[in-house]
Amino acid sequence: MRFITLCVRTLAVSESNFISAAEHAGETFVLNLGPQHPATHGVLRVKLTMDGEYITRAEPVPGYIHRMHEKMGENRNYAQFLPNTSRIDYLSAMHYTHAFVGVVERAAKLEVPPRAEYIRVITSELNRISSHLVWFGAFLLDLGGFTPLLYAFDDREKILDLLEGITGSRLTYCYYRFGGVCNDIDDEFIRGTRAFLEEMRPRLKLYRELVTDNIILRKRLIDIGPISAELCRKYGATGPVIRGAGVPYDVRRSEPYSVYPELDFVVPTHAEGDCMARYLVRMEEMGQSLRIIEQALDRLPEGPVLGKAPKTVKLPPGDYCYAVEAARGRFMVRVISDGKEIPYRVKLRAPSFSNLSLFEEASQGMMLPDALAVMGSLDLVIPDIDR
């Protein structure tokens, strides 16, 4: 009985404090989210100005893991910079390397064998699925659900085993080369990939039953964190963020590259613009990636996997760009060459930076837990911001 009395008294004190806070409207305090906080997925600091539990301003403060990739690209030759690309967004390493070899091939007019292009598509889409699985598990962990993380990482391990067999790495791949890929895929990889396709489709149905249709998740995401197409365009947001606002912008369709124009797939979009829309886009993208991989395996031609490329790459003087659809959106490499072995200027257009930039405006007036859901739905990778 004494314990119950203490609880009632505590509740009464809390209620009186709440009333007092309401009487003093306009009083705010500053809360630092990060830079060492699990919800920021890395060393990102967000300076929150709070009015009670509501956010009046959220100011991202990046720079805690800045590694000067662009400057490093201007101090070494093209081949030496190639391993850097997979360290920018380590969850989307294949796509980033693809963009860099693509800009060099475009500038130097290097021919890429058809088999190598299909292998690039297969490995890139496997990498996209593995990236989305990390986001899926971590996002639900942010929302308080632990079990889906175990399922997601179980599926991701199968992809990592496949990619390790041909690249020798499980995270920061450096498999692509100027003019193709460094080695061919074997029958074991093809069999393993086809087996993964058969296993993954039922798992996506399981994720829908276990997570997507769960009323708790839907209450946490539906109508939370609306981001309009106009806001996306204002800050240059791409990928699942803008497709979750109803805009079917996908570099694989809008700025076609590699053999994607030869493959049949759908660009998932949802017009609601809330956290649930961005969640659904990524879940549907995994299904489309399975579809792309299967078509690429069926059409995989015979032949070499590496074309002719000079030992030392020197690009003709000029300004060159190449963009790919990475897991988080449009990644573009811009190289300005003055005809030497080392680039004059390297500019990396990373999607996470643009996607983070809209968070300050999108989170105004939100409660803190909802803002964390919005941040998770943006799928930020901090080294991609602090490149």
In this prediction, residue 6 has a pLDDT band, given cuts at 50, 70 and 90, of very low
Contact yes or no for 268/281 (Cβ under 8 A): yes
Residue 3 has pLDDT above 90, yes or no: no
Taken in order of first residue, the domains within the chain and their CATH numbers are 69-385 (1.10.645.10)
Interatomic CA distance for residues 158 and 162, integer angstroms: 6
| Per-residue pLDDT tens over the stretch 249-297 | 999 999 999 999 999 999 999 999 999 999 999 999 999 999 999 999 9
Q: What is the dihedral of CA 253, 254, 256, 257, to 10 degrees?
A: -100
Average pLDDT, the chain: 91
Q: 63-91: per-residue pLDDT in tens?
A: 998 889 999 999 999 999 999 999 999 99
Return the structure tokens found at 258: 């590699």
124 pLDDT above the threshold of 60? yes
Which residues are CB-contacts of 240 (< 8 A; sequence separation ≥ 6)?
278, 281, 282, 285, 328, 329, 379
Q: What is the pLDDT of residue 17?
A: 35
Q: What is the dihedral of CA 152, 154, 155, 161, to 10 degrees?
A: 140
Distance between CA 236 and CA 352 in Å, rounded?
10
Outline where 209-257 has alpha helix (H): 215-221, 229-235, 240-243, 251-254
Indicate whether this model's pTM tops 0.95. Answer: no
Q: Which two tokens stand for residue 171?
A: 């995270």
pLDDT-based confidence at residue 4 (cuts at 50, 70, 90):
very low
**pLDDT value for 25:** 52
- Beta carbons within 8 Å of 377's beta carbon, 6+ residues apart: 139, 221, 225, 244, 275, 278, 279
Output the pLDDT for position 36: 83
pLDDT tens-place string over residues 343-378: 999 999 999 999 999 999 999 999 999 999 999 999
Cα gap 101→177, rounded to integer Å: 6
Residue bearing the bigger pLDDT, 17 or 108: 108
In this prediction, residues 32-37 reach a mean pLDDT of 86
pLDDT score recorded for residue 27:
85
Supply the pLDDT for residue 216: 95
**Least confident interval from 30-44, 87-101, 129-143, 189-203:** 30-44
Distance CA 74, CA 387 (A): 14
pLDDT for position 37? 82
pLDDT of residue 8: 31
State the pLDDT at residue 67: 85
